[in-house]
């Protein structure tokens, strides 16, 4: 039986509440007899700062390196607004991403039919939507140097950000996108601005080369990033996998997400490079934050975090069947009319975090 180590970092606020529900799904997965997942837990974010003065400890980092995957809840909250910048809760998250070299951010935008009315787009445009946005996470304009504001001395200032990409950075993210497409709808759209940006020209060239050398069986379309933004609201179902740089990915993934409804529904994965033994560092987390306004009330929607665990089963533990079962269970409870406050609808039953978890656990158990 395949055996894996999973590090749970619930973090702050609703992070702990939603992670409790993931633990119950880990127990279910272990009970299926097809996989053995050993979990350990540690602190990250504000709670880690309170405990030992850093947003993540060296021992927690060592556990993260040793684990096959990390599940993170959320970090932050007003309690830590005044802590020094380098010790703020988000520093724990950034250190994990940086030290594990998580360069590929996967953001699915899935619209469950039962929630199609919650989208700002028409039902027929979004019902059954299933897109994967693959965003380059560690390069591009957010990290390029120089990055500065210079005082020109004549009442004017000059601000510079540098958009910068090397071949290897584009190659490795392209591989992630094509590999994913093979397991999905076999179509990749590569979005850049080759008409006005040199990085766009290189992006286009490298993606084309990776495709022709390794993935001729996958369909590849090149699309200008601005047109991609337009097509996402005009006809989103034309997309399967979209691969793009850090800046465009930031914008396009939020845009696609909103087609699907609430923050409480959005999972994500961040992946690093595969080593010689076929192991890839990976971190799975909901897109939402620690929601201090509802923390401690048992109201948080656990679906984003549970769906992140489903991604972990699929991409880190190679258990697509178990992931499918969790995703079907989520669809089932939504069909049954159960809703947390963030996705509340008239005529539906309002439930809390634990009740939503109960219903999803019951639905996966029925699928055994
Ligand atoms: P947020 O995502 O925490 O909350 C935004 C709104 O959405 C709130 O009204 C909240 O109640 C609601 N919401 C979010 N997740 C929900 C869920 N699962 N169920 C029901 N409702 C949900 O964003 P924010 O309010 O801007 O930030 C709060 C704190 O979280 C800040 O300290 C911020 O820095 C931090 N944050 C952390 C992460 C992360 O850990 N990855 C991401 C974003 C924000």
Whether the predicted pLDDT of 120 surpasses 90:
no
- Which of 200 and 118 is assigned the larger pLDDT? 200
CB atoms closer than 10 angstroms to residue 167:
13
Average pLDDT over the chain reads: 95
Of ligand 1's listed atoms, the one at least distance from the Cα of 14 is: 18
Stretch 183-195: mean pLDDT? 97
Predicted pLDDT of residue 263: 84
Whether the predicted pLDDT of 261 surpasses 80:
no
Predicted pLDDT of residue 215: 98
pLDDT tens, 238-250?
999 999 999 999 9
Predicted pLDDT of residue 119: 85
Of ligand 1's listed atoms, the one at least distance from the Cα of 300 is: 19
Stretch 261-290: mean pLDDT? 92
pLDDT tens, 15-50?
999 999 999 999 999 999 999 999 999 999 999 999
As a whole number of angstroms, the distance between CA 138 and CA 179 comes to 20
Confidence of residue 260 (pLDDT cuts 50, 70, 90): confident
Stretch 47-65: mean pLDDT? 98
Distance 347 CA to ligand 1 centre (A): 26
Lining ligand 1 with CB less than 6 A are 14, 74-77, 93, 263-264, 285, 288-294, 300-301, 304, 340, 342
* SS3 per residue for the chain: CEEEEEEEEEECCHHHHHHHHHHHHHHHHHHCCCEEEEEEECCCCHHHHHHHCCCCCHHHHHHHHHCCEEEEEECCCHHHCCCCHHHCHHHHHHHHHHHCCCCEEEEEEECCHHHHHHCCCCHHHHCCCEEEEEEECCCHHHCEEEEEEEECCCCCEEEEEECCCCHHHHHHHHHHHHHHHHCCCCEEEEEECCCCCHHHHHHHHHHHHHHHHHCCCCEEEEEEHHHHHHHHHHCHHHCCEEEECHHHHHHHHHHHHHCCCCHHHCEEEEECCCCCCCCCCEEEEECCCCCCCCCCCCCCCCHHHHHHHHHHHHHCCCCHHHHHHHHHHHHHHHHCCEECHHHCCCCCEECCHHHHHHHHHHHHHHCC
pLDDT tens, 297-338?
999 999 999 999 999 999 999 999 999 999 999 999 999 999
Distances (CA, A) of 338 to 82, 230, 258, 287, 296: 39, 33, 21, 21, 20
Predicted pLDDT of residue 360: 98
Predicted pLDDT of residue 118: 80
pLDDT tens, 133-176?
999 999 999 889 999 999 999 999 999 999 999 999 999 999 99
Whether the predicted pLDDT of 203 surpasses 80:
yes
As a whole number of angstroms, the distance between CA 283 and CA 271 comes to 7
The whole-model pTM stands at 0.92
As a whole number of angstroms, the distance between CA 159 and CA 343 comes to 41
Confidence of residue 1 (pLDDT cuts 50, 70, 90): confident
- For residue 238, give every residue at least 6 positions away whose Cβ sits within 8 Å of its Cβ, in sequence order, or none: 231
Predicted pLDDT of residue 257: 85
Residue to substitute in 291, 294, 295 for testing ligand 1 pocket (most ligand atoms within 8 angstroms of CB): 291
Instruction: State the architecture of 107-265 in CATH terms.
Output: 3-Layer(aba) Sandwich (3.40)
Stretch 217-233: mean pLDDT? 97
* CATH number 3.40.718.10 given to 1-103+272-368: yes
The residue among 103, 16, 11, 15 whose CA lies nearest residue 50 is 11
Catalytically active residues are: 142, 193, 226, 250, 254
Where do the CATH 3.40.718.10 domains begin and end in the chain? 1-103+272-368, 107-265
CB burial string 212-242: b at 16+ within 10 A, e below: eeebeebebebbbbeebbebbeeebeebbbb
């Amino acid at each position: 039986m395949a055996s894996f180590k999973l590090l749970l970092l619930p973090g702050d606020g609703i992070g702990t509440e939603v992670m409790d529900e993931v633990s119950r799904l880990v127990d279910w997965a272990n009970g299926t007899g097809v996989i053995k997942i050993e979990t350990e837990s540690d602190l990250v974010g504000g709670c880690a700062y309170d405990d030992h003065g850093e947003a993540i400890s060296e021992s927690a980092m060592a556990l993260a390196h040793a684990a096959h995957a990390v599940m993170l809840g959320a970090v932050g909250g007003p309690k830590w607004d005044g802590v020094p910048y380098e010790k703020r809760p988000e520093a724990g998250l950034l250190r994990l991403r940086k030290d594990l070299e998580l360069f590929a951010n996967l953001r699915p935008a899935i619209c469950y039919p039962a929630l199609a009315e919650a989208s700002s787009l028409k039902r027929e445009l979004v019902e059954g939507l299933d897109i994967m946005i693959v965003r380059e996470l560690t390069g591009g304009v957010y990290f390029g140097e120089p990055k500065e504001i210079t005082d020109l001395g004549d009442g004017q200032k000059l601000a510079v950000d540098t958009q910068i990409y090397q071949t290897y950075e584009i190659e490795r993210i392209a591989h992630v996108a094509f590999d994913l497409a093979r397991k999905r709808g076999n179509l990749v759209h590569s979005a850049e601005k080759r008409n006005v940006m040199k990085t766009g020209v290189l992006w286009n060239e490298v993606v084309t080369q990776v495709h022709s050398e390794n993935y001729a069986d996958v369909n590849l379309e090149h699309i200008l990033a601005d047109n991609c933004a337009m097509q996402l609201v005009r006809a989103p179902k034309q997309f399967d996998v979209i691969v793009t740089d850090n800046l465009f990915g930031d914008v396009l993934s939020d845009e696609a997400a909103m087609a699907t409804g609430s923050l409480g529904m959005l999972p994500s994965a961040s992946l690093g490079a595969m080593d010689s033994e076929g192991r890839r560092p990976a971190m799975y987390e909901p897109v939402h934050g620690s929601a201090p306004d509802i923390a401690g009330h048992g109201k948080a929607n656990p679906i984003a975090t549970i769906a992140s665990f489903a991604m972990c089963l699929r991409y880190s533990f190679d258990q697509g069947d178990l992931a499918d079962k969790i995703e079907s269970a989520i669809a089932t409870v939504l069909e049954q009319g159960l809703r947390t406050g963030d996705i509340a609808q008239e005529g539906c039953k309002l439930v809390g975090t634990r009740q939503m978890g109960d219903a999803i656990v019951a639905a996966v158990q029925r699928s055994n």
